[in-house]
Amino acid sequence: MTWIALIFILIWLATFVTGQLLFKRAMDFSSAAGFRDRRTIFTLGVGILIMTISFCLNLGLLQRFDLSYVYPFQGSSIIIIAVLAAIVLKEKLTPRLIVGTLLIAAGVVLVSIS
Amino acid sequence: MPVNRQSSASAARTSDRPTGFRNPWFQFVLNIVGVVIYELLLKAGASATADSAKSWSWIGINALASPLTWLAIVVIIVDLVIWLYILRYIPLSIAFPLSRTVDVLVPISCWLILRETISPLRWCGIALAIVGLIIVAKPAAELEQRL
């Protein structure tokens, strides 16, 4: 893998994680104030924009690598998202959830390096 | 306390949670199936239009020349709506790890449909991910009981 590939994969991961957090935040806003709420629309809009960038980067990566090789990199976002969900969204992380999440991430990383 | 506010808000949201087709867990399964379908379509569309000689091909725009990519986009949009619906009812820290079921299903689908090869080490990784998914499924089941 070249440096440019690594950079694009990292940007892809960052946009994907940010998009997911914005989606969840938008749905929290929509539950509290409905879909016409300004915060819901803004957060969802930014989330969709960032996810679109992530999607384009995904296509670029898929053109160069096997899907079964590229895709598992997204799996490393599991830990990042779980941690940020606890910090940013104040969700509760139980020990069991942490262990399960780490195992999934380890499995996915193993798939990606094999 | 923000945490308590959020917990009570979640409880209020989920107390009148829909059942049947609109059940978030049923939609969750649909979402995973959708992800597997659009990933395979994207790979097929991207491969059909790949031209790595162009430096700007990293952004993947030329993949839009394939109808398969557009079909994938339709599935992605439907899947996004389903995912947003799921997030209204299920915490991200549970929903997202469980959604990684696709990390197991996609390589297996690649092996079955696209004839890509899977090494023994990759099979071990898939097995490890499955164990993790089973462990995460327990908090999800407990969440379900509380709802």
A27, pLDDT greater than 90: yes
**Between chains, do B125 and A28 touch, taking CB under 8 Å as contact?**
no
Beta-carbon pairs below 8 A across chains A and B = 202
Contacts of B8 (CB under 8 A, 6+ apart): none
Determine the Cα angle at B137 with ends B16 and A97, to 5°: 100
Give B119 to chain A, closest Cα distance, Å: 7
Neighbours of B126 (CB within 10 A): 22
Asked if B87 and A79 touch (Cβ cutoff 8 Å), the reply is no
Write the pLDDT tens digit of every residue in B91-140.
Answer: 898 898 888 888 777 778 788 887 888 888 888 988 988 898 888 887 67
Give the start-to-end residue ranges of the domains of chain B. Answer: 18-146
Tokens of B76: 């992605």
The answer to whether B111 faces chain A, any CB pair under 8 Å, is yes
Q: In whole angstroms, how far apart are CA B142 and each of A32, B10, B115, B116, B137?
A: 24, 15, 39, 38, 9
pLDDT confidence bin for B144, thresholds 50/70/90: low
Nearest to B42 by CA among A62, A36, A13, A41: A62
Q: Is the pLDDT of residue A22 over 70?
A: yes
Q: What is the mean pLDDT of residues A59-86?
A: 76
Q: In which band, very low, low, confident or very high, does the pLDDT at B52 lie, cut at 50, 70 and 90?
A: low
